[in-house]
Structure 1
Amino acid sequence: MPDLNLLLALDVLIEEGSVVGAARRMNLSAPAMSRTLGRIREAVGDPVLVRAGRGLAPTPRALQLREQVRGVIEQAHLVFNAGREVDMMTLERTFSIRANDVFVGTYGGRMRELFKGEAPRAVLRFVPEGDGDDDAMEQGRIDLNISAAGKFGNDTKVQKLFSTSFFGAARENHPLFEGDITAERFAAYDHIAVSRRGRSQGPIDEELAAMGLHRRVAQIMPTFHSAIFAAADSDLIMAQMPSVMLGRLERLGVPLRLFELPIPVRTAVIVQAWHPRLDSDLAHRWLRRSIKAMCDAESGLA
């Protein structure tokens, strides 16, 4: 039966994409790590990591196993640290989380109730997404980054929270709803885009271009919440309404009508990411576990 050290090694190897880098992380020699990789391959029945350029790339099987491996490691940590967990009821600490307004609007209230019940003396500080601040986690300015999966540093810890699909949205009596919503009719009306960087082009435009179509983005908003109110008061079409926001949209009573997009749009994978120095921090582990459990419950996975 594979031991826990093999799981730890597998996790580090996937993160590093290098036997040498993984060996350095685990204080082993490169030959010893190579032998460990051989044992992992034998135990899993899969190459796990294959040559890609100057490094190693995980196989689909390795990526499938990664989340399960992380869960086992987390549980093992809880077992070995039983009896010395941090007292969250008396902890006085500020947790800074960088997230966009979709996550804050959907989960901010529930997180406040969580802190009130389990960490009443701690402070929850949400930090807006920004540009050119990729070292915020490294320098300790934020504790957790919640965003769409993207490029993170090789040593950054990442955990999937949930996936969200997208709908289109327009005001109740928009002329778009007077006929079948085809790609041609969808592209014929002016659109509103959401981009904190001020960009007007994205995946929607790529899909339309593949069909020989083009849309006009007449307004660009920095947040989803500002965009939904602008769309409700105009003839603009909002092309990417995250499904995770649908419940909140109903509670806000915004007069928007949703529709299935007439073009294929990729779902977005939302993750939480943190600096490795916080990986064993007991209070930070409580925060990550709580957020993950909250998102699982919302998704019906709990």
Structure 2
Amino acid sequence: MRFNRLDLNLLVALDALLTDCSITKAADRLNLSPSATSNALARLREYFDDDLLVQVGRRMEPTPRALGLHEAVRDVLVRVDSAIAIPPAFEPAKSDRVFRIFVSDYTQMVFVPHLMALAHAERCSARFEFLPQVSHPQRSLERGEADLLIIPRGFVSPDHPEEKLYLDDFTCVVWRHGALARGEFNLERYVAARHVVMRPPGSFGDSFEASFVKRHGIERQVAVTSYGFASLAPLVVGTDFVATVHKRLALKLLPSLPIALRAPPLPLPAMEQGLQWHKYRTQDPGLAWLRQLLHRAAAAMDAAMDTVPH
């Protein structure tokens, strides 16, 4: 099919080439030979009258024109996929679909098991692929690389629908046999302590709780940084460090680690965990089913939390 003399199949090739900046990798993504992919690039260069990809040292770099085209091409392909490629109905027990969800290791530990249990109960045959959150996960949503994001609502994109999934509080974790486990855990001791903190991978920003600590004018003395939430509590064991972590995660780790939980000596608000999807996929039957299942999983998690000693 052609539009304004452009073979529309070439848009798929252009998206792959600009995503990978490599003819070989794009060929693998497209299930084409490198020579066929190279030919597609030549035709694209002729149509757009631009090199699109140029060799810089050992790798290929997109030209300014290519950078301007990439988001527009991805937008077109996501629209086509959501309007044409998605089946009109979704039957979980008969589906071979792959759901790609961006989550933190915290979410995967405390929430995803409830989701998996419900999916299993419905005999769901679809596959779930949980992907690590890095900086700017919204870009993966825009490009159609993720079906859903599960992230704090303060970090969601304003350009796509989102809704609250669940709430979680924060708690401070210390070594059970350390000095911080004895006596009053007040703001003075919190500020004087050395901290174990999570720093989001590939980002220079702060995690949710870190941003609120800074708003109170507190500059924590950081002893250790980690790329994941689940490692924070184990890293305080044997030390007088403190970690400020999600309460659900801390309670899950409490039986297996020599740790103690202390209320934060500053008013940290509860975190609202959000659920976001691409605006073009609101009517996707599979995602509509999955969103409902996610909310049921959140309710199941809350019910289980009520039975855990705090």
Scaled by the length of structure 1, the TM-score of the pair is: 0.64
Q: Which range moves more in the overlay, 175-184 or 157-166? A: 175-184
The answer to whether the Cα contact below 8 Å between 2:104 and 2:133 also exists between their aligned partners in 1 is yes
Deviation sequence 1:140-173 (CA, Å, 0-9, x none): 1000000001254444110101111111110101
Query: Kindly tell me: are residues 182 and 151 of structure 1, through their superposed partners in 2, closer, same or farther at Cα, counting changes over 3 Å?
Result: closer
Establish whether residue 163 from structure 1 lines up as the match of residue 172 from structure 2. Answer: no
Residue matched to 2:212: 203
The letter for the 1-side match of 2:211 is: G
The answer to whether the Cα contact below 8 Å between 2:170 and 2:270 also exists between their aligned partners in 1 is yes
Query: Kindly tell me: are residues 297 and 117 of structure 1, through their superposed partners in 2, closer, same or farther at Cα, counting changes over 3 Å?
Result: closer
Query: Kindly tell me: are residues 208 and 178 of structure 1, through their superposed partners in 2, closer, same or farther at Cα, counting changes over 3 Å?
Result: farther
Residue matched to 1:227: 232
CA distance in 2: counterparts of 1:173 and 1:142, whole angstroms: 43
CA distance in 1: counterparts of 2:198 and 2:285, whole angstroms: 37
Residue matched to 2:297: 294
Cα shift at 1:178? 2.7
Query: Kindly tell me: are residues 208 and 168 of structure 1, through their superposed partners in 2, closer, same or farther at Cα, counting changes over 3 Å?
Result: farther
Percent of aligned pairs sharing the same letter: 20
SS in 1 for 2:268: coil
Cα shift at 1:242? 0.8
Establish whether residue 138 from structure 1 lines up as the match of residue 161 from structure 2. Answer: no
Query: Kindly tell me: are residues 116 and 175 of structure 1, through their superposed partners in 2, closer, same or farther at Cα, counting changes over 3 Å?
Result: same
CA distance in 2: counterparts of 1:247 and 1:237, whole angstroms: 16
The answer to whether the Cα contact below 8 Å between 1:101 and 1:225 also exists between their aligned partners in 2 is yes
Establish whether residue 120 from structure 1 lines up as the match of residue 124 from structure 2. Answer: yes
Structure 2: gaps (5+ residues):
1-87, 305-310
Cα shift at 1:300? 4.4
Structure 1: gaps (5+ residues):
1-83
Cα shift at 1:198? 6.0
The letter for the 2-side match of 1:90 is: K
CA distance in 2: counterparts of 1:215 and 1:271, whole angstroms: 27
Of 236, 241, 265, 1:236 maps to: 241
SS in 2 for 1:179: coil
CA distance in 1: counterparts of 2:169 and 2:195, whole angstroms: 19
Residue matched to 2:108: 104
Cα shift at 1:232? 2.0
Q: Which range moves more in the overlay, 224-233 or 278-287? A: 224-233
**Larger radius of gyration between Structure 1 and Structure 2:** 2
Deviation sequence 1:241-274 (CA, Å, 0-9, x none): 21222442235x1211000111111221101000
Residue matched to 1:274: 277
CA distance in 2: counterparts of 1:205 and 1:216, whole angstroms: 12
Establish whether residue 215 from structure 1 lines up as the match of residue 220 from structure 2. Answer: yes
Cα shift at 1:132? 3.9
CA distance in 1: counterparts of 2:157 and 2:180, whole angstroms: 44
CA distance in 1: counterparts of 2:178 and 2:253, whole angstroms: 18
CA distance in 2: counterparts of 1:180 and 1:98, whole angstroms: 39
The answer to whether the Cα contact below 8 Å between 1:169 and 1:259 also exists between their aligned partners in 2 is yes
Cα shift at 1:136? 1.0
Query: Kindly tell me: are residues 135 and 205 of structure 1, through their superposed partners in 2, closer, same or farther at Cα, counting changes over 3 Å?
Result: closer
Query: Kindly tell me: are residues 246 and 144 of structure 1, through their superposed partners in 2, closer, same or farther at Cα, counting changes over 3 Å?
Result: same
CA distance in 2: counterparts of 1:258 and 1:266, whole angstroms: 17
The answer to whether the Cα contact below 8 Å between 1:161 and 1:296 also exists between their aligned partners in 2 is no
CA distance in 1: counterparts of 2:182 and 2:158, whole angstroms: 50
The answer to whether the Cα contact below 8 Å between 2:173 and 2:250 also exists between their aligned partners in 1 is no
Cα shift at 1:283? 1.1
Establish whether residue 187 from structure 1 lines up as the match of residue 196 from structure 2. Answer: no
SS in 1 for 2:101: strand
Query: Kindly tell me: are residues 258 and 287 of structure 1, through their superposed partners in 2, closer, same or farther at Cα, counting changes over 3 Å?
Result: same
The answer to whether the Cα contact below 8 Å between 2:156 and 2:274 also exists between their aligned partners in 1 is no
CA distance in 2: counterparts of 1:86 and 1:204, whole angstroms: 44
Q: Which range moves more in the overlay, 103-112 or 286-295? A: 103-112
The answer to whether the Cα contact below 8 Å between 1:156 and 1:274 also exists between their aligned partners in 2 is yes
Residue matched to 2:90: 86
The letter for the 1-side match of 2:283 is: S
Cα shift at 1:231? 1.3
Cα shift at 1:94? 0.5
